[in-house]
Amino acid sequence: MTFPAPVSASLGVRCPQCGAEIAPAAVSCPTCHALIHAGQLKSLAEAARTAAARGDVSGQLEAWRVALTLLPPESAQFRTISDRVRTLSRSLSDPSPAPASQPAAGDAKKVWGGGAISAAALLLWKFKAAAIFLLTKGKLLLFGLSKGTTFLSMLAALGVYWTLWGWKFALGFVLSIYIHEMGHVAAMKRFGLAATAPMFIPGFGAFIRMKQHPATAQEEARIGLGGPIWGLAAAGGCFLLYVTTAQPYWAALTHTGAMINLFNLMPVWQLDGDHAFKALNRTERWIATGVTAGMLFVTGEGLLVLVGILAVVQALREAPNAEGDRTALIQFAGLIIALALLMKMPVPGLS
55-67 per-position pLDDT tens digit: 999 999 999 999 9
Where do the structural domains in the chain lie, given as residue ranges? 1-94, 115-344
Residue 10 pLDDT class (50, 70, 90 cuts): very low
Query: What integer is the mean pLDDT of 71-78?
Result: 92
Interatomic CA distance for residues 166 and 311, integer angstroms: 36
Share of the chain above pLDDT 90, in %: 62
* 17 or 346, which is more confident: 17
Query: From CA 288, how far away is CA 232, in angstroms rounded?
Result: 18
pLDDT higher at 61 or 36: 61
Q: 73 in helix, strand or coil? A: coil
For residues 193 and 68, the answer to whether their CB atoms sit within 8 Å is no
- Asked whether the whole model's pTM tops 0.85, one would answer no
Say yes or no to pLDDT of 114 above 80.
no
Residue 6 scores a pLDDT above 50: no
Is pLDDT at 209 greater than 60 in this prediction?
yes
pLDDT for position 181: 93
44/67 Cα distance (integer angstroms) = 7
pLDDT band at 271 (very low <50, low <70, confident <90, very high): very high
How much is the pLDDT for 8? Answer: 42
Residue 348 Rama label (left phi>0; alpha psi -120 to 50; beta): beta
pLDDT in tens, 156-185: 999 999 999 999 999 999 999 999 999 999
User: Which has the higher per-residue pLDDT, 110 or 125?
Assistant: 125
For residues 12 and 22, is the Cβ–Cβ distance under 8 A?
A: yes
Crossing angle (nearest 10°) for helices 248-264 and 217-245: 170
Contact in structure between 85 and 63 (CB atoms under 8 Å): no
